[in-house]
Chains A and B, each alone.
Chain A
Amino acid sequence: MRLVLRALALRALAFLTTTAGAVLLVSVCFALVPGDAIDALPNGPELRAQLEGEWGLVGGPAERVLGTFSRAGRLDFGHSLTVSPGAPVAELMGSAAARSARLLAPAALLSLLAGFAGAALAGAGAELPPSPWRPRLVRALASLSALPAVLAALATVNGVNALAWPLIESARLTRPVWFALPETDHPVRSFLAVIVLTGASGSFLWGVRRAGDTLADLAARPFVGAERARGGPIAPLLARHLVVPAARMGAAHLPLLLSALVVVERGFGMPGAGSLFWESCGRRDWPVTVGLAVVAAVTVTTARFVADALAVVFDPRERAALA
């Protein structure tokens, strides 16, 4: 128990330092980007004298980074400068993150399921009867997933609309609620966005490969061989031991999903944290950018922390390594 607690405490420390490191990295990069929030205003240079102090843009890059860092450390994210002038960044981030979570959470889960299912179908570790078409199917799907998310989003949105429109125009189909820029969020649009997020930019490919490695490693373990020798079912055994690797895989996959989120939100016209990040970079709204970086870092490090915590709790080898 003591070992577990110590391990968890160490991982909590890692969580904090990793988040801090990520924020520092983003702050440094942003400080080096040419132009600032005042430049994003139409007559910004004329207003510089009035706004520089108020917006915290005095001093060189080093001072700005330190200032950003110390504010982030106090969880004071300030107010948006140009994206939504005056709006508290915490409020902006909260609503954007909540909207993005509706896509990200199902996509993360689906990625795991699809990765392991694909790897199992392709023959990694599973005790399925041999079949020539299953690996081919998986390879074909994996190849399709090579399409970058931006192209997949464009193709999906335009393709679905182009297919539906002639039917709507000729009155063979009643105009669906989800068709072409719907007024409200609709499950069909969200579903398509989740599929693109899960599969495109090589995401499925990555998932199948990583899951395949995991399943192959597990299948090679002595206890699996022993169970096989006893004639028992392997699949349930593998499934029980997949919890920790799946959690680690999910945590490793999250940064890729967050990247694709920027593209998918813009492509599908579903504003969220991804499109907010893009806008804040273009408008040099550093409080919003840094705030979103914190959210992204916390999301990723929380996922890692959960995966590591599960490993410590369920994997005796982890506890032995600590001892």
Chain B
Amino acid sequence: MRALTPLLLLLPLAAQAGNLRYAEDLAPAIVHPLYGSSMAEARANELAFEGLYTDDVELATTPALALSTELAADKLSAVVTLRSDVAWHDGQAFTAADVVFTIKALQDRATASTESGRVAWIKEAVALDNTHVKLTFVRPEGRPEDKLYFKILPQHAFGALPLKRTDAFRTHPVGTGPWALSQFNEDNSITFSKWKSWRNPVGIDQITLREVADKNYQAKLVLYESLEALVRVLPRDLAILKNNRKVDLYPYQTNSWWYLGYNNKRPALANPAVRRALSELVDVDSLLAPVGTGARITGPFVPSSPYYNHDVPMLAPDADDAETALTAAGYAQEGDHWTQGGKPVVLKAVAHQALESVQEVAINLQSQLESAGIKLEVQFLDDAAWKQRVWHDRDYDLMLSQWTFDRNEDISEQFHSTGTRNFVGYSNPAVDALLDKARDATDPFARKAALREVHKLVAADQPMLFLWTLDSYAAMAVKVRNVVVHPFYFFTFAPQWSMK
């Protein structure tokens, strides 16, 4: 009987297989973890590929393809012990050579991977044998396993380095994940089938990604039972889905937050007092109300983050204080308008068109600033035009956008004076030093302390007005059971899901 018990436990799962269909605005044209260019692709990669480590349901680091990591005393190297019972989807065995190959591919500039930053901290990777990899680091690392999430590729599926986007792998991916890609369909949908040799039971036979370009239509398709899952429910659809007995909603908190960035290099906005005054003219709660629910933030982390400094007070709207600050900075009020040098103050704002609800926020913001006497001209830009204007040209006064971080929440690219994504042009030597300290810290408490201090300083400098993090909800048909949603990758815990 004891021998049969594991089999009996499997029986309900076998009866509860099925096809889980979910929607994306734009179906990935390739499934390749080194060349992902959208969250849709990241989610698809999560189905078919694995990293050395992953998250458990408490979002703590847990082994996946690795078994353990032994850190050297000087913290400049570590030996990762790998699982020996893993096979690729084509039946070949997973070995240390695959790990080394992946790291080298990411490090090779000619590969031009969108994920190359994930291994910038690794100096060298060497396979000691089939199940052991020695990693040498650029600087001491306290917990290297927290950064070993990047997906591993099969060496045998490629020729020599560098890898290319045009490699056949892009449409014939081979991973170790719980689902293998079966086919790209004519209607742009993608079918993933359960990988029978995966080490744990997988509750769903097939997962199908359907392309539904119209976001307004996606929730209806869940109600019509044409889809079983929706990754993110629009605020407008929450009430309808909440009241439907065939659909369950699952809240999750992403590491993403909205901000109104000030171009710190513009003369008008180089003065922190002016930036603070502008922030005080904005009623952030009023901006949030039409958009959805969420939590206000005071700095560059979400409130649930260990790095969030809860001692930093929320910046409340204060028109009087703003008026004093603007007057002191050389601005004058003429009638209903603020002027400088006799000319009315006109600020140009750009907003990322693809950001859901950005129009409502931008229009509302414009209205608030106009009431306060500042004219705001808003332009909505698509992705490429945004990068041209903001990344290349830095041609804007204000920008409305969102940052999304994975589990590492590394904000140095955004706030370090040398950061490649520091589009607002922020510079504070004290913040630079703290960010360097956080990066080099091997003690998690030291890192936490440094980043909380960064939060405090950045909040005081106001290079941007920190707005909010939105509540996110996934929608699942009730027949999908045991659902736990990963806030970033969505499907990390999908093997545990089952369908009635």
Q: Which residues of A line the B interface, CB within 8 A?
A: 33-37, 39-47, 50-51, 54, 79-80, 82-87, 95, 99, 154, 157-158, 161, 165, 179-181, 184-185, 266-267, 269-271, 275, 279, 282-284
Closest 8 CB pairs of A and B: A35-B384, A86-B166, A84-B29, A39-B387, A85-B165, A39-B384, A35-B388, A180-B224
Tell me if A161 and B220 are in contact (CB < 8 A).
yes
Closest to B23 in A: A181
B247 CB to nearest A CB, Å: 14
Contact of A279 among B26, B167, B221 (CB under 8 A): B26
Give Cα distance in the complex from A51 to B114, angstroms.
Answer: 12
Residue of B nearest to A88 (CB): B166
Q: Are A36 and B384 in contact (CB under 8 A)?
A: yes
Are B214 and A266 within 8 A (Cβ)?
A: yes
Q: Which B residues between 359 and 407 are near A, CB-CB below 8 angstroms?
A: 382-389, 391-392
On whether the beta carbons of B383 and A39 are closer than 8 Å, the reply is: yes
A86 to B163, CA, bound (A): 12
Specify which of B29, B211, B382, B392 is in contact with A45 (CB 8 Å cutoff). B392
Q: Say if the beta carbon of B328 comes within 8 Å of chain A.
A: no
Residues of A contacting B430 in the complex (Cβ-Cβ under 8 angstroms)? none
Which has the most chain B C-beta neighbours within 10 Å: A46, A95, A157, A279? A46
Any chain A CB within 8 A of the CB of B112?
yes
Interchain CB contact under 8 A, B166 and A46: no
Contact call A47/B112, Cβ cutoff below 8 A: yes
Distance to closest chain B CB from A242 (angstroms)? 37
> When chains A and B are docked, how far (Å) is the Cα of A44 from the Cα of B116?
12
Contact with A along B30-63 (1 / 0, CB 8 A): 1000011110000000000000000000000000
> Residue on A with the closest CB to B218?
A181
CA distance A266 to B211 in the complex (A): 10
- Complex: A47 Cα to B116 Cα, angstroms: 10
Does B314 make an interface contact (CB < 8 A)?
no
Give the distance in Å from the alpha carbon of A80 to the alpha carbon of B171 in the complex.
Answer: 14
B311 contacts chain A at the CB level, 8 A cutoff: no
Q: A38 to chain B: closest CB distance in Å?
A: 8
A84:B387 contact, CB within 8 angstroms: no
Report B105-124 CB contacts with A as 1/0, cut-off 8 Å.
00001101010010000000
* Contact status of A42 and B37, CB under 8 A, knowing A47-B114, A84-B30, A85-B30: yes
Q: Is the Cβ of B117 less than 8 Å from the Cβ of A181?
A: no
- Given A35-B388, A158-B220: A82 and B186 interface contact (C-beta under 8 Å): no
> Who on chain B is nearest to A83 by CB?
B29
Nearest-CB residue, chain B, relative to A266: B213
Partner of A34, one of B171, B210, B385: B385
13 interchain pairs, CB-CB under 8 A: A40-B37, A40-B384, A42-B36, A43-B117, A45-B420, A85-B29, A180-B220, A180-B224, A181-B212, A184-B187, A269-B211, A269-B212, A284-B384
- What is the interface size of chain B, counting residues whose CB is below 8 A from a CB of the partner? 44
A180 to chain B, nearest CB (A): 4
Residues of chain A within 8 A (CB-CB) of B227 are 181
With the chains together, A85 CA to B26 CA distance in Å?
A: 14
List chain B residues, Cβ under 8 A from A84: 29-30
Q: Is B84 among interface residues, defined by CB-CB distance under 8 A?
A: no
Query: In the bound complex, what is the Cα–Cα distance between A36 and B212 (angstroms)?
Result: 25
A180 touches B226 (CB 8 A): yes
User: Which residues from chain A contact B384 at a C-beta distance below 8 Å?
Assistant: 33-37, 39-40, 282-284
Which residues from chain B contact A41 at a C-beta distance below 8 Å? 37, 114
- Give every chain B residue within 8 A of A43 (Cβ-Cβ): 114, 117
Expressed in whole angstroms, the Cα–Cα distance for A35 and B220 within the complex equals 35
Q: B224 touches which one: A36, A45, A82, A165 (CB < 8 A)? A: A165
Q: How far is the CA of A50 from the CA of B210 in the complex (A)?
A: 33
Binary per-residue interface labels of chain B (208-235) against chain A in the complex, 1 for a CB within 8 Å, 0 otherwise? 0011111001001101101100000000
Q: Which residues of B contact A54 (CB under 8 A)?
A: 112
B117 and chain A: residue at smallest CB distance:
A43
Q: Of B167, B214, B383, which one neighbours A267 at CB under 8 angstroms?
A: B214
A165 to B391, CA, bound (A): 47
Question: Does B170 lie at the interface of the complex (its beta carbon under 8 Å from any beta carbon of A)?
Answer: yes
Query: In the complex, A61→B35 CA distance in Å?
Result: 27
User: Which residues of chain A have C-beta atoms less than 8 A from B293's C-beta?
Assistant: none
Min CB–CB distance B187 → chain A (angstroms): 6
Bound complex: CA of A266 vs CA of B38, how far in Å?
20
Known: A43-B117, A46-B420, A181-B226. Contact between A85 and B212, CB under 8 A?
Answer: no
Does residue B188 face the partner (Cβ distance < 8 Å to A)?
yes
Q: How far is the CB of A52 from chain B (nearest CB, A)?
A: 10
- State which of A80, A158, A180, A282 has its C-beta within 8 Å of the C-beta of B383: A282
Sample of 15 further A-B pairs with CB below 8 A, known A42-B114, A50-B109: A34-B385, A34-B388, A35-B386, A36-B384, A39-B387, A43-B114, A84-B29, A87-B171, A95-B186, A161-B224, A180-B220, A181-B221, A266-B213, A269-B213, A271-B211
Nearest B residue to A181 via CB reads B226
B139 an interface residue at 8 Å Cβ cutoff?
Answer: no
**B-chain residues with CB within 8 Å of residue A95 when the two chains form the complex:** 186
B66 to chain A, nearest CB (A): 26
- CB-CB < 8 A to B392: which residues of A? 45
Residues of chain B in range 265-281 having any CB-CB distance to chain A below 8 Å: none
Q: Is the CB of A50 within 8 A of B391?
A: no
Q: Tell me the bound Cα distance from A206 to B29 in angstroms.
A: 38
Of A42, A87, A154, A181, the contact of B210 (CB 8 Å cutoff): A181
Is B437 interfacial (CB-CB < 8 Å)?
A: no
* Residues on the A chain within 8 Å of B214, using CB: 154, 266-267, 269
Q: Which residues of B contact A34 (CB under 8 A)?
A: 384-385, 388-389
Cα distance A36–B383 when bound, in Å? 10
Among candidates A50, A85, A270, A275, residue contacting B170 with C-beta atoms closer than 8 Å: A85
Contact partners of B29 in chain A: CB under 8 A: 80, 83-85, 87
Query: Across the interface, do A271 and B187 meet the contact criterion of CB distance under 8 Å?
Result: yes
Evaluate contact between A157 and B217: CB separation under 8 angstroms. Answer: yes
Task: Given A86-B165, A87-B29, A282-B382, check contact A45 B387 (CB 8 Å).
Answer: yes
- Complex interface: chain B residues within 8 A of A154 (CB): 214
Q: Which residue of B lies closest to A92 (CB)?
A: B29
Check B310 for interface membership: any CB of A closer than 8 A.
no
Q: B164 on the interface (CB 8 Å rule)?
A: yes
Decide: A85 near B211, CB < 8 A? Known: A40-B384, A271-B188. Answer: no
CA–CA, A196 and B340, complex, Å: 55
Closest chain A residue to B170 by CB distance?
Answer: A86
CB distance from A102 to the nearest CB of B (A): 11
Q: How far is the CA of A279 from the CA of B166 in the complex (A)?
A: 19
**Closest partner residue, chain B, to A44 (CB atom):** B387
Closest to B110 in A: A50
- How many Å from the CB of B111 to the closest CB on chain A? 8
Q: Which residues of A contact B224 (CB under 8 A)?
A: 161, 165, 179-181
In angstroms, Cα B221 to Cα A282, docked, is 25
* CB neighbours of B213 from chain A (8 A): 266, 269, 275
The answer for the CA separation of A56 and B226 in the assembled complex, in Å, is 42
Q: Are A85 and B35 in contact (CB under 8 A)?
A: yes
The docked-state distance in angstroms from the alpha carbon of A43 to that of B37 is 8
Query: How far, in angstroms, from A82 to B35 measured CA to CA in the complex?
Result: 10
Q: Are A39 and B187 in contact (CB under 8 A)?
A: no
Give complex CA distance A99, B187 in Å. Answer: 10
Which residue of chain A has the shortest Cβ distance to B111 in the bound complex? A50
For A80, the chain B residues whose CB sits under 8 A away are 29
